[in-house]
Amino acid sequence: MPQDHERKLKNYVINRSLQLRLIFVSLGYMAIILAVTLAFTLLPVLHTMFDAADPNAQYESAQTFLLLAQRLVPAVLVLFLFFFAHLVIMTHRICGPLVNFTHTFESMADGDLSRRIQLRQKDYLQDEADMINEVLDNLKDHMAALQAENHALAESLEKATHNPEALGEARRRNERLSEMISTFHL
């Protein structure tokens, strides 16, 4: 009986555009490297096979070419598949955190500072996630201090309507609130 939280292959493609772009660019580079390697490996044999005047040399070159082709092509295909699987996993470990960062930034833009970035153990960008979480903590601390100062200012204003000393206290609290707000550059 399958459960809803089981992992599926489609879960490995998180940020489709970025992840597929990284995979195909890397596979393209690998294909170029493999083509150059195969060319340098097989061209001398092909040259001897087609240019030799001696039929025995042509026959030996053809046998060598067939042997190399029989062994190299499957090995190259297996390596290509392993490289593809490795790329999917590696890009998943990069794109997963990036999606998490995006959701956190969207929450921050909406004024929600309670969201924290939680990454899996093998994900990349752990240091960056820690820095973003530290920024969020600092913002929450500053906002809490602003809220406390605002609350104190409101209380001082309540008292100020009846007492001139309380009005002076309200002005001091207002100046303190202005200082705290000025720590943010807009």
pLDDT digits (tens, 9 = 90+) for 102-126: 999 998 888 888 889 999 898 999 9
Mean pLDDT over 140-154 rounds to: 81
pLDDT at 130 over 90: yes
Please tell me which residue, 152 or 97, carries the higher pLDDT value: 97
- pLDDT bin (cut points 50, 70, 90) of residue 49 is confident
Measured CA to CA, the distance from residue 29 to residue 16 in angstroms comes to 20
Measured CA to CA, the distance from residue 26 to residue 20 in angstroms comes to 10
- pLDDT bin (cut points 50, 70, 90) of residue 183 is low
On average, the pLDDT of the chain sits at: 82
- From the list 166, 169, 174, the residue with the least C-alpha distance to 150 is 174
| Global pTM value | 0.66
Please tell me which residue, 8 or 40, carries the higher pLDDT value: 40
pLDDT at 96 over 60: yes
Q: Which range has the top average pLDDT, 15-24, 99-108, 151-160, 174-183? A: 99-108
- pLDDT bin (cut points 50, 70, 90) of residue 5 is very low
Measured CA to CA, the distance from residue 55 to residue 60 in angstroms comes to 9
Determine whether 58 is exposed, middle or buried from the number of CB atoms within 10 Å of its CB (0-12, 13-18, 19+). Answer: middle
- pLDDT bin (cut points 50, 70, 90) of residue 8 is low
Mean pLDDT over 13-18 rounds to: 78
Percent of residues, the chain, with pLDDT higher than 90: 21
Supply the pLDDT for residue 13.
73
Mean pLDDT over 151-171 rounds to: 74
Mean pLDDT over 176-180 rounds to: 77
Question: C-alpha distances in angstroms, 118 versus 59, 106, 115?
Answer: 63, 15, 9
